[in-house]
């Protein structure tokens, strides 16, 4: 069974995890990785790799389909936000070739990518969300009514990771930020603890097969750099209730906050999160679950099947090779 990972970038650990899971199976299999840059280190951890055009260039999907056919790919795994939408929109082209696309339904991907739409979705389903405004006028009205005030957290409605996201402490700065070309989301500044949830939604049952919770200790460039595994029944319940409102599939990354005794949903990324290695090293094995699903086997629920108090601390490594 062969897996193709798109835009592999620096996701070396993920490539290794899939190779380990495949090598442990009697039938084996290969990990194929692609990227538009020869400087993507994860390319060189895969069993086979290809350079491809940028996803915005003509012929990109045709090239991916060509590689899938040549390498007898069974599962296609996109990792990058824009690519999630592109692949999900073109799901049928791959399914017609008996290739399973490991991504959520198009409407869910689009909803999660648009932070304003996702906030409205949380309100519609009565899920706890931090107070949020879109644009300066809406915030000023909320401020006059006493519903929001500084400091606030501002981020682009269609941003990725932490790009363009930061704390704002006064109106002059907020006006300058909102005067730019991007539509900005203005959110209550959460004075509390940040949590992450790595969730695997089974491709057969369409229900969460695994949920791994971590308390974030330190973030860097939008990714969890240091964290500790936790268990909390209220947080497990909130994650399950939130997932049930969306057509999610496969790996999902969730951001949540605890302010006082209350949990709030912040964002959902329908893909592998950058902090997923923490879950893997706590024996929450999403690659194994993916392979089970690709073989037609449903994964039994294993919510919270890991040890608490296990710390993850990322550090920098490198690959040196002749290109």
Percent of the chain whose predicted confidence (pLDDT) is above 90: 89
Element (H, E) at 28: none
Task: Report the pLDDT value the prediction gives residue 159, as an integer from 0 to 100.
Answer: 78
**Residue 140 is assigned to a structural domain of this protein:** yes
Task: Please name which of 73, 4, 66, 13 lies closest in space to residue 32, comparing C-alpha atoms.
Answer: 4
**Is 9 in the same domain as 64?**
yes
Supply the pLDDT for residue 48.
Answer: 98
Q: pTM of the predicted model, to two decimals?
A: 0.95
Q: How confident is the model at residue 301 (pLDDT cuts 50, 70, 90)?
A: very high
Cα 224 to Cα 216: distance, rounded to the nearest angstrom: 7
Residues 180 and 228 in one domain: no
Same domain, 179 and 254: no
The predicted pLDDT at position 161 comes to 66
| Domain closes at, from 150, 171, 188 | 188
Same domain? For 211 and 293 the reply is yes
Range of the domain at 17: 2-103
Per-residue confidence (pLDDT) for residue 138, from 0 to 100:
94
Whether residues 201 and 279 share a domain: the answer is yes
Q: Are residues 184 and 231 both part of a single domain?
A: no
Beta-carbon-side half-sphere exposure of residue 232 (alpha carbons within 13 Å):
19
In a domain, residue 28? The reply is: yes
Q: Indicate whether 168 and 275 sit together in one domain.
A: no
Query: Which pLDDT value is given to residue 99?
Result: 98
Interval 94-133: pLDDT, tens: 999 999 999 999 999 999 999 999 999 999 999 999 999 9
Residue 297: phi and psi, rounded to 5, are -105, 130
Does one domain contain both 254 and 212? yes
125 part of a folded domain: no
Q: Alpha-carbon distance 186 to 155, whole Å?
A: 7
Q: Identify the domain boundary among 122, 156, 188.
A: 188
In this predicted structure, what is the pLDDT of residue 158?
A: 86
- Going by pLDDT thresholds of 50, 70 and 90, the confidence category of residue 92 is very high
Is 165 inside any structural domain?
yes
Q: What is the CATH number of the domain that holds 59?
A: 3.40.50.20
| pLDDT tens digits, one per residue of 135-193 | 899 999 999 999 999 999 999 998 776 677 889 999 999 999 898 888 999 999 988 99
Answer whether residue 108 is part of any domain: no
Q: Are residues 199 and 250 in the same domain?
A: yes
Of 66, 83, 103, the last residue of a domain is 103
83 phi/psi in degrees, rounded to 5: -70, -30
What confidence tens digit (pLDDT) does each residue in 204-260 have? 999 999 999 999 998 777 778 899 999 999 999 999 999 999 999 999 999 999 999
Does a structural domain hold residue 95? yes
Instruction: Lowest mean pLDDT of 65-79, 221-235, 283-297, 301-315, name the range.
Output: 221-235
In the chain, how many domains are there?
3
Q: Find the mean pLDDT for residues 51-76.
A: 97
Residue 84 clears pLDDT 70, i.e. is over it: yes
Q: Are residues 248 and 290 in the same domain?
A: yes
Residues of the chain above pLDDT 70, percent: 99
- What confidence score (pLDDT) does residue 278 get? 97
Cβ neighbours of residue 268 under 8 Å, at least 6 residues apart?
A: 112, 118, 242, 246, 248, 252, 253, 254, 255
Is the torsion defined by CA of 146, 152, 155, 161 positive or negative?
negative
* CATH of residue 265: 3.30.470.20
Within a domain: residue 311?
Answer: no
Are 162 and 247 part of one and the same domain?
A: no
Please indicate, yes or no, if residue 320 is contained in any of the structural domains: no
CATH classification at residue 173: 3.30.1490.20
């Amino acid at each position: 069974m062969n897996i193709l990972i798109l835009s592999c970038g620096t996701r070396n650990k993920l490539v290794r995890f899939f190779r380990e899971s495949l090598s442990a199976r009697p039938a084996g299999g290969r990990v194929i990785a692609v990227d538009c840059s020869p400087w993507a280190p994860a390319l060189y951890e895969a069993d086979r790799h290809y350079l491809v055009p940028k996803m915005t260039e003509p012929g990109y999907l045709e090239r991916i389909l060509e590689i899938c056919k040549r390498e007898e790919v069974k599962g296609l795994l996109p990792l990058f936000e824009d690519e999630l939408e592109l692949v999900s929109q073109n799901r049928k082209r791959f399914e017609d070739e008996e290739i399973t696309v490991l991504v959520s339904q198009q409407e869910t991907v689009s909803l999660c990518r648009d932070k304003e739409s996702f906030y409205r979705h949380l309100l519609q389903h009565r899920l706890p969300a931090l107070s949020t405004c879109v644009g300066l006028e809406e915030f000023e009205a909320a401020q006059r009514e006493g519903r929001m005030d500084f400091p606030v957290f501002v981020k682009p409605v269609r941003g990725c990771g932490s790009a363009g996201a930061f704390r704002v402490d006064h109106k002059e700065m907020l006006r300058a930020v909102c005067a730019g070309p991007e539509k900005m989301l203005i959110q209550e500044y959460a004075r509390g603890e940040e949590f992450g949830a790595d969730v695997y939604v089974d491709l057969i049952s369409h229900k969460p097969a695994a949920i791994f919770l971590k308390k974030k200790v330190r973030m860097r460039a939008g990714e969890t750099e240091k964290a500790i595994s936790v268990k909390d029944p209220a947080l497990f319940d909130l994650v399950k209730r939130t997932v049930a409102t969306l057509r999610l599939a496969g790996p999902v990354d969730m951001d949540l906050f605890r302010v006082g005794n209350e949990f709030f949903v912040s964002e959902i990324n329908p893909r592998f999160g950058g902090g997923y290695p923490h879950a893997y090293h706590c024996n929450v094995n999403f690659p194994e679950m993916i392979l089970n699903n690709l073989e037609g086997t449903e994964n039994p629920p294993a919510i919270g099947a890991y040890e608490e108090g296990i710390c993850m601390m990322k550090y920098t490594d490198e690959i040196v090779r002749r290109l």
